[in-house]
Amino acid sequence: MATSGSQPAAEIGVIGGSGFYSFLDDIEEIQVDTPYGPPSDPIAVGELAGRRVAFVPRHGRDHRFPPHQIPYRANLWALRSLGVRQVLGPCAVGSLTPGYGPGTLAVPDQLADRTSGRAQTFYGEGAAIHVSFADPYCPTGRRTAIESARASAWEPVDRGTLVVIEGPRFSTRAESRWFASQGWTLIGMTGHPEAVLARELALCYTSLCLVTDLDAGIEEGDGVTMEEVLRVFGQNIGRLRALVTDVVKALPTERTCPCPNVLDGMKLPLELP
């Protein structure tokens, strides 16, 4: 299903977790079939800040998908098939920098992939398709997110590198210290391949990172625990949800960034929705 009548079902997509399941008004749930199986759950489409928004729960509503088993390709394909062209990816991350404590908002400009075994392309056969990924996030989306956060008095870290690990375990202290030694500032488990798959579909993608903990190599003690992550995320979910609403409202209706043109001149081995 790509449209409702002659109009897209949604223009903006949000891929999020707990706390985002009921933030839309007048929700319609849409079951979307994709060549990559079903998305994490039926897509919730509704109104937010005067815009048509599609929401997919990244891990499923019952949190049944660990980070390495999320159907990333199905999620992004489903959003595009509904008309989505701009995607926001709020997520919980750890900090590799002592100055970025729990509750910090970060809008990274770079990504480092340390995953293994995840399907991370739509173009694995049929043609050699190489998309530009030097700057993995949409510049317009990042600017809009940073400006919206500042307007709400939540000063963000406006750049940095998010390293994505395979999970579902947390890092050892040695791994954490090595990541930090590379100059990487944030660590998570879901930002890749989400960002590159969005790029391969010519979508705008912006990561909104909420720091929930200092990673194991940065702070003494017992290391990162799921209890700590959920506690800090719960304390800040209202603020993060309000920010997503502000960003949705402020995103431009016309895309003038490079993202829509990333596939120009390429002969694709499949037809995009």
> What pLDDT score does 222 carry?
63
> What pLDDT score does 1 carry?
45
> What pLDDT score does 7 carry?
67
Which tokens is 82 given? 């509904």
Domain assignment present for 30: yes
Domain assignment present for 131: yes
Residue 139's identity, in one-letter code, is: P
Q: Show pLDDT as tens, one digit a residue, over the chain (273 residues).
A: 444 444 679 999 999 976 676 778 788 999 999 999 999 999 999 999 999 999 999 999 888 999 999 999 999 999 999 999 999 999 999 999 999 999 999 999 999 999 999 999 999 888 889 999 999 999 999 999 999 999 999 999 999 999 999 999 999 999 999 999 999 999 999 999 999 999 999 999 999 999 998 887 776 656 667 777 778 878 888 999 999 999 999 999 999 999 999 999 999 999 999
Catalytic residues: 213, 215
Measured CA to CA, the distance from residue 163 to residue 200 in angstroms comes to: 20
Domain assignment present for 4: no
Number of domains in the chain: 1
> What pLDDT score does 50 carry?
94
Measured CA to CA, the distance from residue 121 to residue 228 in angstroms comes to: 33
- CATH number of the domain bearing residue 72: 3.40.50.1580
> What pLDDT score does 236 carry?
87
94, 213 contact by CB (below 8 A): yes
Domain assignment present for 273: no
Domain assignment present for 267: no
Domain assignment present for 271: no
The burial class, CB within 10 Å (0-12 / 13-18 / 19+), for 248 is: buried
**Which position has the token pair 């043609």?**
127
Q: How far is CA 167 from CA 14, 27, 65, 189, 246, in A?
A: 22, 32, 12, 6, 31
262, 203 contact by CB (below 8 A): no
Which tokens is 179 given? 């990541």
> What pLDDT score does 234 carry?
80
Domain assignment present for 237: yes
Host domain of residue 209: 9-261
Helix (H) or strand (E) holding 232, with range, is: helix 226-250
Domain assignment present for 123: yes
SS3 state of residue 113:
strand
- CA atoms within a 13 Å half-sphere pointing along the CA-CB vector of 9: 24
> What pLDDT score does 127 carry?
87
